[in-house]
C-alpha cells in the first residue's frame, strides 16, 4: 500500500563524543523515507529543498523507490540546516544552530497521486504545515501517524491540539508525553493523550526502548543494547519510517501487527545510530533486517 511521508530534507552538522560530521544529509523525511523504503514502494515524499541539496542524494532516494513529485526544489535558496551537539550519554543534546531557509515559508502541495494515500506519516514540522497536508487529502488514509516535539507544545499548542484530533498514532519521547499530558506517570499520560485524538501512542525512550499504548493494551519494545553508537540523529524518524513502512507493506493495523511494526521500527533505529547521518540506512538489505528482528525476539524471550 502507498505511504506518504512529510518532513524536512535537510543538512546537519553533528558532534558526538565519537566524532563530528559537517553538512551531512539529514532531515526527518529523509530518515523516514529511507527506513520505509525497505518495506514499501513508492514512499511519496512531501518536502522542500534548496538548490544546494545534492542531486546524488535525490537520485539515491529515487533508486530506493521514492516518489519525489511532492518534493519542491527552490534553486536559488538554501536547504534547512540544523547543528547539534550530543553529550556523553547521547540522550541529551544541544541545538547549536537552526537555519530555516526554504522551510521558513514552506507550503506543502500534495500531487494528485498523493491525495489518496493509505498511510501517512507526518514528520516533525509546524502543526500548521501538518494541518495543510491533512486538508489536501481526498479521502481519509487508513492510518495517519505524526511526530512532534516540545518546541511546538511551547509555541503552538492550540494548533497542535487541532492536528492531534485528526491523527491515529502520535510518536513522542517520554518528556514530551509528560509535558503534553501534565502527568508524570506514562500510563496516566497515555490515557490523557488518547483523549486528545490519537488512539495509539508511541513513547520513544532512546536507549531504553519504546512503549506502544492503545487503551489498556500496552507493548514495551526494548532497544537493542549496542557496543558502539556513532550518532543518534534521526533515530526517532527512522523508527517512524520502519514502523509505518511495515504497516504499509502489510496493510494490517491490528494491535498484533502494530507490535510487530514497533519492533521493525526499533530494528531500523538500531541500525541508524551505528553510523553518522543516513549512511547506515543506505547499505541494508532484507536479510540483515530479519537477522536483527531475530535479535530483538531473543532479547526479550523467556518461557513461563
Among 135, 157, 256, 288, binds a second copy (CB under 8 A): 256
Q: Coil, strand, or helix at residue 179?
A: helix
The least distance separating a second copy from the CB of residue 111, rounded to whole angstroms, comes to: 36
For residues 4 and 45, what is the distance between their CA atoms, to the nearest angstrom?
A: 6
What Å distances lie between residue 157 and 43, 188, 222, CA to CA?
29, 20, 30
What are the percentages of helix, strand and coil residues in the chain, rounded to 5? 40, 25, 35
Residues of span 40-79 touching a second copy by CB under 8 A: none
Tell me: does residue 222 bind a second copy (CB under 8 A). yes
Among 187, 195, 215, 288, binds a second copy (CB under 8 A): 187
Tell me: does residue 291 bind a second copy (CB under 8 A). no
Tell me: does residue 299 bind a second copy (CB under 8 A). yes
Q: In what order do the strands lie in the sheet with 10-16?
A: 19-26, 10-16, 81-86, 93-99
The least distance separating a second copy from the CB of residue 296, rounded to whole angstroms, comes to: 9
The least distance separating a second copy from the CB of residue 285, rounded to whole angstroms, comes to: 18
Backbone angles phi, psi at 25, to 5 degrees: -70, 135
Number of neighbours of residue 196 by Cβ within 10 angstroms: 16
Among 56, 112, 228, 287, binds a second copy (CB under 8 A): 228
Among 48, 201, 229, 272, binds a second copy (CB under 8 A): 229
Tell me: does residue 293 bind a second copy (CB under 8 A). yes
Among 100, 104, 157, 226, binds a second copy (CB under 8 A): 226
Tell me: does residue 286 bind a second copy (CB under 8 A). no
For residues 98 and 236, what is the distance between their CA atoms, to the nearest angstrom?
A: 19
Q: Coil, strand, or helix at residue 183?
A: coil
Nearer to a second copy, 139 or 301 (CB): 301
Q: How much is the CA Rg of the chain, to the nearest whole Å?
A: 18
Region near a second copy per CB under 8 A, out of 77-85, 147-155, 216-224, 274-282: 216-224
Tell me: does residue 209 bind a second copy (CB under 8 A). yes
Among 22, 59, 89, 135, binds a second copy (CB under 8 A): 89
Angle, CA of 122, 164 and 193, to the nearest 5°: 120
Strands 10-16 and 81-86: parallel
Among 116, 208, 215, 288, binds a second copy (CB under 8 A): 208
| Contact predicate 210/256, CB 8 Å | no
Task: Write out the residues near a second copy by the rule CB under 8 A.
Answer: 17, 88-89, 184-188, 205, 208-209, 211, 218-222, 225-229, 256, 259-260, 262-263, 293-294, 297, 299-304
Amino acid at each position: 500500500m502507498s505511504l506518504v511521508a512529510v518532513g524536512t530534507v535537510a543538512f546537519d552538522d553533528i558532534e558526538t563524543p565519537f566524532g563530528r560530521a559537517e553538512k551531512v544529509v539529514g532531515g526527518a523525511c529523509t530518515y523516514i523515507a529511507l527506513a520505509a523504503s525497505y518495506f514499501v514502494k513508492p514512499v511519496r515524499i512531501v518536502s522542500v529543498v534548496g538548490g544546494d541539496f545534492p542531486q546524488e542524494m535525490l537520485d539515491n532516494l529515487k533508486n530506493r523507490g521514492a516518489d519525489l513529485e511532492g518534493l519542491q526544489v527552490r534553486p536559488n535558496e538554501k536547504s534547512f540546516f540544523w547543528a547539534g551537539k550530543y553529550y556523553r550519554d547521547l540522550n541529551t543534546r544541544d541545538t547549536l544552530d537552526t537555519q530555516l531557509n526554504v522551510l521558513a515559508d514552506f507550503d506543502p502541495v500534495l500531487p494528485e497521486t498523493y491525495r489518496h494515500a493509505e498511510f501517512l506519516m507526518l514528520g516533525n514540522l509546524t502543526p500548521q504545515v501538518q494541518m495543510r497536508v491533512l486538508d489536501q487529502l481526498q479521502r481519509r488514509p487508513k492510518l495517519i501517524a505524526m511526530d512532534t516535539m516540545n518546541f511546538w507544545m511551547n509555541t503552538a499548542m492550540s494548533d497542535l491540539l487541532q492536528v492531534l484530533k485528526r491523527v491515529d498514532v502520535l510518536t513522542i519521547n517520554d518528556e514530551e508525553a509528560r509535558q503534553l499530558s501534565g502527568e508524570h506517570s506514562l500510563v496516566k499520560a497515555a490515557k490523557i493523550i488518547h483523549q486528545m485524538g490519537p488512539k495509539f501512542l508511541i513513547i520513544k525512550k532512546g536507549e531504553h526502548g519504546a512503549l506502544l499504548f492503545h487503551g489498556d493494551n500496552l507493548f514495551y519494545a526494548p532497544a537493542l543494547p549496542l557496543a558502539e553508537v556513532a550518532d543518534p540523529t534521526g533515530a526517532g524518524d527512522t523508527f517512524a519510517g520502519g514502523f509505518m513502512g511495515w504497516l504499509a507493506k502489510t496493510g494490517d493495523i491490528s494491535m498484533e501487527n502494530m507490535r510487530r511494526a514497533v519492533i521493525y521500527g526499533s530494528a531500523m533505529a538500531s541500525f541508524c545510530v551505528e553510523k553518522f547521518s543516513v549512511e547506515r540506512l543506505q547499505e541494508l538489505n532484507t536479510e540483515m533486517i530479519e537477522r536483527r528482528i531475530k535479535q530483538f525476539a531473543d532479547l526479550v524471550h523467556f518461557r513461563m
